[in-house]
A and B are shown apart, each in its own frame.
Chain A
Amino acid sequence: MEKAATRASDGEIVARRELETVVVRFAGDSGDGIQLTGGQFTQVTALAGNDLTTFPDFPAEIRAPAGTTYGVSTFQINFGGRRIMTAGDRPDVLVALNPAALKVNLADLAPGDQIITDVGAYTERNLRKAGYDANPLEDGSLKKYRVIPIDISKQTLAAVKPIGLSQKDALRCKNLWTLGLIYWLYDRDRQPTIDWLGRKFETRPELGEANIAALNAGHAYGETVELEGEVKGFAVRQAQIEPGLYRNVTGGEALSWGLVAGAKFADLKLFLGSYPITPASTLLHLLARLKHFGVVTFQAEDEMAAICAAIGASYAGGIGVTSSSGPGIALKTEALGLAISAELPLVVVNSQRAGLSTGLPTKTEQSDLFQAVFGRNADSPLAVIAACSPADCFEVGVEAVRIAIRHMTPVIVLSDGYIANASEPWLIPDVAEFAFEPPEFHTEADGFQPYLRDPDTLARVWAIPGTPGLEHRVGGIEKDYDTGNISYDPANHQRMTDVRAEKVARIADDTPPQTPQIGEESGRMAVVGWGSTFGPIGRAVINLRGEGYDVSHIHLRHLWPLPRNLGALLAGFDSVLVAELNTGQLKMLLRGQLLVPAEGLNKVTGQPFKISEIEAAVRTRLEKDLEKDNERRRVR
């Protein structure tokens, strides 16, 4: 392995300290460009050959008053020389650009963690806005941390002075100065960011120049000034990463591309009907830019119109998609019933957010599982699948389109705020790997009935307007099993209810059997999850197995119908722990459907699981079991 080194101020080569993984959290005011700073650091870190995961966390307010605690925006990145599965339980380094950022994030630090902060921002006014009575840099309250106080504001102003910007514009380069310092700290290449700044400020070259000057000055500062605590910089070695072409991808991007790919395979016009809602709007923004793929995006007047337009699109022979978050999905519920009754394909994306009602719009939770599976009037079955990471959204997008068309059913895709906004490196696949057979519209008038069914899947025929000889009427009133005409016949309603349920149940014949993501197919304990808990559960299980615990990780993509073999698979474990960011919805589903004595590990703070939380829960349970076993043996 290459020996990492850095040059000290006197020209002497000093060894950089090696780290396996690092978690850096950038925190500052919403207006400080924190997300942008994080994005740049992510890119150069990927280029440096580290694996990584990021977690952007920003306030719901668009421009919260500067300097306040509720205006703090953060971006956390976990990177390292091994597979990185989460954004990290807590930061090793906190970069706080003002007192509010320090105040909000301090609780997540452990003694000995590093804080880099801009002392220039600790003015009386800013301290007051952050709710500090005394300057925490001076009152000894930060004793247990390793604080590196730098007057970043002053340094930035000095660095960009030759360019002659206004004080306000000059101070806006503070984030780049800080980024330069962090680049030095972790030995990152500045060039990609310099190139990017050049492109970004093409029309205002003086701003580009100033930002580049700030970046370089921050880097030079690290090189030449002895940082408090004799920090000499770190080296993080490259991870063992599968060779190939990579990019960073957010869940929003991957999902939009997956839907486009699915529509291409299906040879159908992709139609998105959507109404803006946090954190789901990204999909609307992204698909609106893909018109050259024939994508139609329709910003509807409300959530009901958004799904209804999508249903109209599918009725007319396109693939209708609608996207929202929990409260918006609630508004779409009646129309979902229509799509189920009319047996039309439809993809409904729910980027879940935290809390009931308006809740915590920018925070993450998994509390809409029941809403997805059961949340409609009457027996109204549909398919539910979940994405487990940003990159996974691509495959899930394709899969949603495939199931919707093949089984003539609405499919709910559960994503969440974390998946939609977080990014991870992605080994870019050849899309041909995911291709499926395009659907055939029904054209044969002889013997046509609108509810003719495929004998295997029970999907009804798709006969679209414009087809001569197939003129027919559908709607939300119960239909005759054969003719599709209105029917109030009691036995017919039973039969139609049964066939709708069986049709959705048979989707499980068409999806792969469940296997553990990590570990054996039987053992002491299975930790079961779905959605964005994939990373923390996976890392926890890997760590626990390293310690000798007999535990496997089972992560579900298909939530309704459940995989056919799931009951048998879970029966092979002494205990089943379902870890989810809600109060126990998948746990109840598994108990109810499979009669497994699943237990829950639940959290609803609006924040992802920490790896340590899952590790602790598994250890406690397995050790308790062990004690019980031992006791039993003693008793015998």
Chain B
Amino acid sequence: MNDVASADRPTAKDYASDQELRWCPGCGDYAIVAAVQRTLADLAVSRDKTVFVSGIGCASRFPYYMATYGFHTIHGRAPAIATGIKLTNPELDIWVISGDGDALSIGGNHLLHVLRRNVDIQFLLFNNEIYGLTKGQYSPTSRVGTRSPSTPTGSLDRPVAPASFALGADARFVARSVDTQRDHLCNVLKRAHAHRGTSFVEIFQNCIVYNDEVFAGFTEKDVADDAQIRVEHGKPLIFGKERNRGLRLAPGRIAFEVATLGDGGVGEGDILVHDENNRVLASMLAELMPPAFPMALGVLYCDPAESFEAVVAAQIERAEADAPDADVNALLRQGHTWQVRS
């Protein structure tokens, strides 16, 4: 990008397009777009090498607000479009922006496959547990009993847990953050950007119009410290206002229990240490639910593997190296031919 190449450090504004943001006043998306712009500035990425791809939904308007390349596509299909872009030009830095309906209902299949293929993109799922753009129907992440225009007496189907879904699909990077936790979100986004392969980030995002305060139980200031655990690789799984509560394995069971430091001789050594390479641990963390347990935030899992576009390119390079003189005329004449004489 032209101006980033200059000596001045870029600012978040350098990554904002000239388009006016058109989300509802108070929408969590404002905070997320600001965090993403700040992250890009901190990383000083090239605007011209960066592509934002989205599907359909409130979140999917995101690319219009970025001063990078952007492709606002169709409902659920952004992962497939992004895969085609990355396979064609692996140099591009691709962010897919999606919501819970886009990624887990109509696009559930594409999310599954982009994760298992491990295409090198950042996949941000704005989870607000509701359909916003279509005016408030319950979504695949809505909790049982959600009252909405399509479920006036309460929804009946059980929700999908995005992070658990991603881990089940063999995602190699799974993280969580919250729209309003700017610094935490920026750090998670930086980790996602640094990871080669699909980086799956679930962002709890408040829909002020149709599902206000749905995450208040663990995001409100007065409860946050006790209802969240910010996991960090190599550090004990400790949380709470007093930093005196921790997660340990319940004796004789494969399950967490919350232990209070100092209670009955519990010391820091009794608390589990977060290992982001451990998928079993990540799956257990992903399933923790307030109020019994804190909501786990941060990088739950990071265990890099070869990315899809890299192995695809390598296979083609090998084939090209083995046949350096590939020529269409020769191709047409391969195999059985015969000469007809006049």
Contacts and interface: CB of A to CB of B under 8 A. Distances in A.
Given A298-B84, A304-B80, A312-B81, A466 B89 contact: yes
A293 interface: yes
Contact of A312 (B84, B316, B339): B84
Given A315-B81, A475-B63, A335 B328 contact: no
B87 A313 contact: yes
Q: Is the interface of A mostly helix, strand, loop or mixed?
A: mixed
Contacts of A467: 48
A465 B51 CA distance: 7
A38 interface: no
Interface string B82-104: 11111111011000000000000
A313 B88 contact: yes
Interface stretch (A243-251, A512-520, A582-590): A243-251
Contacts of B315: 291
A79 B89 CA distance: 48
Interface string B303-342: 0000000001001100110110010110111011111111
A257 B86 CA distance: 25
A264 interface: yes
B85 to A, nearest CB: 4
Interface string B104-132: 00000110110000000000000000000
A559 interface: no
A309 to B, nearest CB: 3
B73 interface: yes
A247 B333 contact: yes
B23 interface: no
Contacts of A477: 72
Interface in A438-480: 464-477
B70 A472 contact: yes
B326 A241 contact: no
A466 B88 CA distance: 12
B67 interface: yes
Contacts of B320: 291-292, 294
Given A264-B328, A296-B87, A246 B80 contact: no
A293 B47 CA distance: 31
Contacts of A320: 84
B17 to A, nearest CB: 7
B2 to A, nearest CB: 6
Interface residues of B, number: 62
Contacts of A342: 71
B81 A468 contact: no
Nearest to B335: A247
B43 interface: no
B64 A246 contact: no
Among A264, A313, A477, residue most surrounded by chain B Cβ atoms (within 10 Å): A313
A210 B129 CA distance: 68
A243 B341 CA distance: 5
Given A260-B328, A308-B77, A318 B109 contact: no
A469 B63 contact: no
B49 interface: yes
B80 A316 contact: no
Interface string A327-355: 00000001101100010000000000000
Count chain B CB atoms within 10 A of each CB in A47, A308, A486 and give the residue with the most: A308
A473 B43 CA distance: 22
Contact of B333 (A318, A334, A428, A475): A428
A245 B74 contact: no
B340 A241 contact: yes
A198 interface: no
A428 B338 CA distance: 10
A43 B336 contact: yes
Contact of A466 (B63, B66, B92): B92
A212 interface: no
A111 B339 CA distance: 38
B77 A317 contact: no
A245 B338 contact: yes
Nearest to A297: B312
A163 B33 CA distance: 76
Interface in B1-19: 1-2, 17, 19
A465 B84 contact: no
Given A296-B316, A309-B84, A245 B333 contact: yes
Contact of B332 (A192, A247, A317): A247
Contacts of A465: 48-51, 69, 85, 89, 92
B68 interface: yes
B226 to A, nearest CB: 41
Contacts of A507: none
Given A301-B110, A469-B2, A430 B338 contact: no
A260 B84 contact: no
A609 interface: no
Given A244-B340, A465-B69, A315 B48 contact: no
A243 B1 CA distance: 57
A571 B319 CA distance: 54
B218 to A, nearest CB: 34
A309 B340 contact: no
A312 B54 CA distance: 12
Nearest to A273: B84
Interface core residue of A47, A293, A427, A467 (most chain B CB under 10 Å): A293
A473 B72 contact: yes
Contact of A308 (B17, B72, B81, B88): B81
A317 B51 CA distance: 13
A430 B67 CA distance: 46
Contacts of A46: 338
A468 B65 CA distance: 18
A315 B308 CA distance: 19
Contact of A311 (B84, B316, B341): B84
A248 B113 CA distance: 39
A300 B326 CA distance: 27
B84 A486 contact: no
Contact of B84 (A292, A308, A430): A308
A477 B335 CA distance: 49
Nearest to A265: B328
B67 A313 contact: no
Contacts of A292: 319-320, 322-323, 326
A298 B316 CA distance: 12
A430 B329 contact: yes
Interface in A244-283: 244-248, 257, 260-261, 264, 269, 271, 273
Which among A261, A305, A317 has the highest number of chain B CB atoms within 10 Å?
Answer: A305
B247 to A, nearest CB: 36
Contacts of B322: 292
Interface string A70-96: 000000000000000000000000000
8 contacts: A246-B338, A247-B337, A294-B316, A301-B113, A308-B84, A309-B81, A338-B73, A431-B329
Given A305-B109, A312-B81, 17 more contacts: A43-B336, A243-B342, A257-B331, A291-B320, A293-B328, A294-B316, A296-B316, A304-B80, A305-B77, A305-B80, A309-B84, A311-B81, A311-B84, A335-B74, A428-B333, A466-B89, A485-B19
